[in-house]
Structure 1
Amino acid sequence: METIAYAQIQELVMRLPARKLPLAYSLLIELVEKESDELSPQVQFMLLPLAERQRIMARQAKKMVTHYEESAVERQVWQAGDFLYAD
């Protein structure tokens, strides 16, 4: 994304009809009040210390092992069926 200067924003605001100014003002206020440095969950995770990331991933892996072991019987039932061929 290209860099936008304050002057460009001011120029756009000056071109707005007066009836649209409250809407533009509300939008700008909302943007200013929002935390501008919100990080995505993925970035937050990558910023954790390595040991903490490893602990979290190990815990998630254990949950998945349990999940796949619990559903193994069900999976065998639907995977062991006969194939139907349509002509």
Structure 2
Amino acid sequence: METIAYAQIQELVMRLPVGKLPLAYSLLIELAEKESDELSPQVQFMLLPLAERQRIMARQAKKMVTHYVHSL
């Protein structure tokens, strides 16, 4: 994941229209209040090595094939 500096976030916020500031503020508050180690399952998955993600996806695909074969 790319490293992002505070200045980049500030620059984006400065470009927002005034009407979108409450939404941006709410999102930032929510992010700031969450535990830093609390990652969504999707983010946790994306942080896995590529080979592990491929293994998991292959296993899930195999299960789905079995499911669809039996449901016909």
| Aligned-partner Cα distance in 2 for 1:48–1:25 | 30
Query: Against the structure 1 CA distance between its residues 2 and 33, is the aligned structure 2 distance closer, same or farther, given a 3 Å change threshold?
Result: same
What whole-Å deviation, never above 9, does each CA across 1:33-85 have from its counterpart, x for those lacking one? 111112689999999999999999999999999999xxxxxxxxxxxxxxx99
Please, what is the CA RMSD of the aligned residues? 9.0
Q: Which has the higher contact order (CA 8 A, sep 6+)?
A: 2
Give the alignment's TM-score, normalised by structure 2: 0.53
Q: Structure 2: 5+ residue runs without aligned partners?
A: none
Query: Against the structure 1 CA distance between its residues 58 and 36, is the aligned structure 2 distance closer, same or farther, given a 3 Å change threshold?
Result: same
1:21 equivalent to 2:15? Answer no
| Aligned-partner Cα distance in 2 for 1:67–1:85 | 5
Q: Structure 1: 5+ residue runs without aligned partners?
A: 69-83
Give the alignment's TM-score, normalised by structure 1: 0.44
Larger radius of gyration: 1
| Structure 1 outlier segments of 4+, above 3 Å | 39-68, 84-87
Structure 1 residue 21: Cα displacement: 0.1
| Aligned-partner Cα distance in 1 for 2:60–2:14 | 53
Identity %: 90
* DSSP-derived class of the 1:4 partner: coil
Partner of 2:52: 52
| Aligned-partner Cα distance in 2 for 1:86–1:66 | 9
Query: Against the structure 1 CA distance between its residues 67 and 45, is the aligned structure 2 distance closer, same or farther, given a 3 Å change threshold?
Result: same
* DSSP-derived class of the 2:54 partner: helix
Structure 1 residue 12: Cα displacement: 0.1
